[in-house]
Amino acid sequence: MPTVVGLFVILAAVLSLPFLVRAVEENLEIFLFAMGVIAVSVTAQWNLALVEEGLVEPIKITIAVLVAGLLFLALRGRMNRLVNGLTAAMGMRGLTFLVILVLGLVSSAITAIVAALLLVEIVSHLSLDRKSEIRLVVVACFAIGMGAALTPIGEPLSTIAISKLAGEPYHASFWFLSRHLGLFILPGVLIFAIVGALLVSKTSRDESRLVEDREERVRDVLLRTAKVYLFVVALVLLGAGFRPLIDRYVSRIPSEGIYWINSLSAVLDNATMAAAEVGPSMSLQQIVSAVLGLIVAGGMLVPGNIPNIISAGKLKIRSGEWAAIGLPLGLVAMGLYFVALLATGL
């Protein structure tokens, strides 16, 4: 019982302090790593296999972030010409549709982080009014967050989910989430692309339009890569530490309940929530509901997932501006996906 109480205290800290304390939010990776170490210590689960998993599991997504980030720096100089050419050929609505669709689909390969940086760069070269640009960014981040979940190199949420399901009984491999979530995610990315195209207005010269705060540098890529590595290590430790709670409590919650509980990922990073609740003791129905709830709700508010945080930070989008678009759009998406889950029997 003391162990369970201790885990609930740690869980409460993990889910609340990043939202309530600015210093914790700004040093999230270090905070979560410390909480992971404490959780594993409280449950006495330290062993060589866990240490190896913590050191090895983040390597794939870390390499993907590093390589894609450096390629982004090398190719970003051509972005202005590309955006202007596509706008002339397709019009603004056509370009918006293409940007959201492509970034949503490729985010699982280039990572959600680099997809968000590409989005920031593209938006900085557009000539839309501020409201339309915010709509584009918010809708695109929904699509990026969803698409990135298809592979374990797309974003930390999918990395940790695959890691925790790699053993019995699922033996989750690289394409595990694609097989079980692709039916929901791929049409969703397409629908978000259509919605985004419909929400933008005609080209307008607006002095308050969105502009990137400063250009990306090699130092930024290296620092972000290191943070991603530490973040995933922390999630591996948290996942191991929270396993008794998952086995004892979360696995007993109906899949419908798990889906709606995960609307909390609008205000709490969805990868952290995945570490706290996804585990092999859950049924496939529960896993699909949990992950789908996390990635859809994660787009509603700025703290919900990585592409939101990057885009809002670099383009100086205020939390209220994001919520005005993200909350109604996300709630509608949550409702539609819930119906889809019931209809498919998952």
Q: Tens of pLDDT along 29-66?
A: 898 899 989 999 988 889 998 899 889 988 988 998 88
**pTM to 2 decimal places:** 0.84
pLDDT value at 12 more than 90: no
pLDDT reading at 208 higher than 60: no
Please tell me the distance from the alpha carbon of residue 92 to that of residue 202, in angstroms, as a whole number: 7
Q: Is the predicted pLDDT of residue 317 greater than 60, yes or no?
A: yes
Q: Kindly report which listed range (56-60, 132-136, 213-217) carries the lowest average pLDDT score.
A: 213-217
pLDDT band (50, 70, 90) for residue 241: confident
List, in sequence order, the alpha helices (H) in the chain.
2-20, 22-26, 28-42, 48-56, 59-75, 79-110, 112-124, 130-147, 156-164, 176-199, 218-241, 243-248, 255-261, 270-277, 284-297, 306-315, 319-344
pLDDT of residue 33: 92
Return the minimum-mean-pLDDT range out of 102-111, 187-196, 238-247.
Answer: 238-247
Residue 221 has pLDDT above 90, yes or no: no
Q: Residue 243: pLDDT above 60?
A: yes
Please list, in sequence order, all residues whose beta carbon lies within 8 angstroms of the beta carbon of residue 190, skipping any fewer than 6 positions away: 101
CA 55 to CA 168: how far, in whole Å? Answer: 21
pLDDT confidence of residue 203: 53
Which tens digits make up the pLDDT trace of 300-315? 988 888 899 889 888 8
Does residue 2 have a cis peptide bond before it, meaning omega lies within 30 degrees of 0?
Answer: no
pLDDT at 20: 79
* pLDDT for the residue 339: 94
Please compute the mean of the pLDDT values over residues 230-244 and round it to a whole number.
85
Task: Quote the pLDDT of residue 134.
Answer: 93
Summarised one tens digit per residue, pLDDT across range 102-119 is 999 999 999 999 899 899
Of 67-81, 156-170, 256-270, where does mean pLDDT reach its minimum? 67-81
Phi, psi of 176 (to 5 degrees): -60, -50
Check residue 124 and give its pLDDT. Answer: 83
